[in-house]
Amino acid sequence: MPRYYFDVREGDDVTSDDEGLELSGIEAAWVEAAHSLADILRDAVRTRRQGADHRIVVEVRDGTGPVLAVTVTFEAEWRAIGRLSQ
């Protein structure tokens, strides 16, 4: 089975994957990259990170080089909307 590496890019920060995962093919790598993005977004919400146009890219590569990139852009902004009726 091929080995895929999942590098994460958040703004200017890049975290390289030196271990990778053995997966059945490119579709399985796409699913893994999408799940990784979901985990990163969940952590961002839990830690209440704010920022407009926050962009995260999971760049997937195999032994020959880049094979795909999965990207998400989101905005987490708090706004005062007044008191909610009870």
Closest CA to 17 of 51, 66, 54, 50: 66
What's the pLDDT tens digit per position in 34-67? 999 999 888 877 776 555 457 889 999 999 999 9
Question: Whole-model pTM?
Answer: 0.79
Interval 25-29 mean pLDDT: 97
User: Does residue 84 have a pLDDT over 60?
Assistant: no
User: Does residue 13 have a pLDDT over 70?
Assistant: yes
HEC secondary structure over 15-42: ECCCCCEECCCHHHHHHHHHHHHHHHHH
Q: Which amino acid is at 4?
A: Y
